[in-house]
Amino acid sequence: MPAAVYVLAAGVFAMVTSEFAVAGLMPQLAESLDTDIAQIGYLVTIFALAMAFGGPLLILALLRLPPKTAIMVVFAIFFAGNLLAALASSYAVMVVARIVTGIAAQAFFGLAVSVCMGIVDASGRGRAVSVAMSGLMLGTLLGLPLATFIGGRLGWQAAFWAVGVLTVVAAALTLALVRNPGDPEDSRAENGTFTEQLRAFRSPRLLLALVTSTLIIGATFSVFSFLAPILTRVSGFTEGSVPLLLLAYGAATLVGNFVVGRLADRHTVPTLLAGTLLNIVFLLGFALGTGSQPLAILFMLGIGLVGVTMNPAMAVRVQRAGGTGVLVNTVHTSFITFGVVVGSALGSRLLAEYGLRAPIVLGAVLAVLAVAAILPAARDPRLRSGSTTGPQHATQEEQPV
């Protein structure tokens, strides 16, 4: 992998650390901003919605810029948002800061995936995405505890200042080591005009791939969003053991991300299908066996191995269906964010009415729907494994609308 791919992973790590920082600093933020925990919780939702809707709009505004220049602009916007968060003296200002950073984070994810795919051979795109997205896994594994530790020792403002420092370091490394994919003419052809970028979304194959990603991520986050109360109130673990269990879950996602990255290019659809089928088994096992601590750990780690770790294979499927353009990749990450929103929101609704096992069952249902959305791609050799042979192979322009 080129060094640039690892640099982009560092940028993803900074973005994800900022996203999760609020979750670890809720009591301090509530006290300082003169509000309650519930209101601070909405800051997580606001960030996700800003990502889902604002990221593609920012990309449209940056569409004519070379990808590296666009990334530097996004870094500047993200840094400004974190600076505003660190200086926030009211809840309203913090809301604005979360909107700004959410929009920038989503745009960065789309740009990072697009650049990764553009600077490696087609046969290595899945691996490149898995390396870049390891920043997401590390953000979950290390970024949240790091932000919580700094905020607990030095005040919540210090956590956002720390993210600002991470952002500056990542931006400096990007400036030094990341290059634009291809020559300028190729870059313009890849990004295209507004109309050319939108044309990709006329493909039913692409739309089905986007929905699949929403369902896969929704299935996982319907459980991940409530892991702490499930583990303490149903499985009977102590609150002190939950951070260690979440650390183990994060380690499982790192392993799964590495494995899927190795398989995503040559076995795209089989990897998605096998991983999602396994997730159904693990989710059902977790729903039925979460009252037993050994079984709860086993199935929780299984969900970590085959849940969000499908990202590289999902990205390759989307690229084959709609191209490597930055707008396609940004909209794809928006659909992934919709999965987070759907899983957590529906899970909350079901939890209130049916208890803590209900979100786990919801996850299994969403995973079954994801399998149904994956199966049509299994008949297409190009989507399945990148093959350019077979009756269903066609260029993007030849696909029926």
232-257 pLDDT, tens per residue? Answer: 889 999 878 887 888 899 899 999 99
User: Is residue 185 over pLDDT 60?
Assistant: no
Question: What DSSP element (H or E) covers 194?
Answer: helix 194-199
Q: Residue 383: which pLDDT band, with cuts at 50, 70 and 90?
A: confident
Q: CA-to-CA distance for 176 and 336, rounded, in angstroms?
A: 30
Mean pLDDT of 141-168: 88
Q: What is the reported pLDDT for 301?
A: 96
Cβ(202)–Cβ(401) below 8 Å:
yes
- The whole model's pTM is what? 0.83
Residues in the chain: 401
- Give me the pLDDT at residue 398, please: 35
- How many of the other CB atoms lie within 10 Å of CB of 8? 31
User: What is the model's pLDDT at position 137?
Assistant: 81
What distance lies between CA 269 and its chain's CA centroid? Answer: 19
- The proportion of the chain whose per-residue pLDDT surpasses 70, expressed as a percent, equals 92
Q: How many CB atoms lie within 10 A of CB 35?
A: 16
In the predicted structure, residue 197 carries a pLDDT above the cut 80: no
Q: Using 50, 70 and 90 to split pLDDT, how confident is the model at 385?
A: low
Measure the CA angle with vertex 394, ends 195 and 313; round to 5°.
80
Q: What is residue 386's predicted lDDT score, i.e. its pLDDT?
A: 62
Q: pLDDT (tens digit, 9 = 90+) per residue, 77-111?
A: 999 999 999 999 999 999 999 999 999 999 999 89
Q: Which residues, in sequence order, are CB contacts of 326 under 8 Å at separation 6+?
A: 59, 63, 67, 70, 110, 111, 114, 190, 191
Domain 1-180 has CATH 1.20.1250.20: yes
For the residues 306-318, what does the mean pLDDT come to? 93
List the domain boundaries for the chain: 1-180, 197-382
Q: Is the pLDDT of residue 144 over 70?
A: yes
Whether 312 contacts 117, CB under 8 Å = no
Q: What is the percent of the chain where pLDDT is above 90?
A: 50
Average pLDDT rounded to a whole number, residues 269-282: 97
Side chain identity, residue 137: M
Report which of 141, 188, 121 is spatially closest to residue 304, judged by C-alpha positions: 141
Mean confidence (pLDDT) of the chain: 87
pLDDT of the residue at 283: 98
Both structure tokens of 386: 């990148």
Residue 295 C-alpha from the chain's centroid: 27
pLDDT given at position 187: 46
* Domain spanning 197-382: CATH 3.40.640.10: no
- Topology match between the domains 1-180 and 197-382: yes
Distance CA 314, CA 371 (A): 13
Per-residue b/e over 93-107, b at no fewer than 16 CB within 10 Å? ebbebbbbbbbbbbb
Residue 395 binned pLDDT confidence (cut-offs 50, 70, 90): very low
List, for residues 336-381, the tens digit of each pLDDT value: 989 988 888 888 889 888 998 999 999 999 999 999 999 999 888 8
Which 3 state secondary structure label does DSSP give 267?
A: coil
DSSP readout, 326-342?
HHHHHHHHHHHHHHHHH
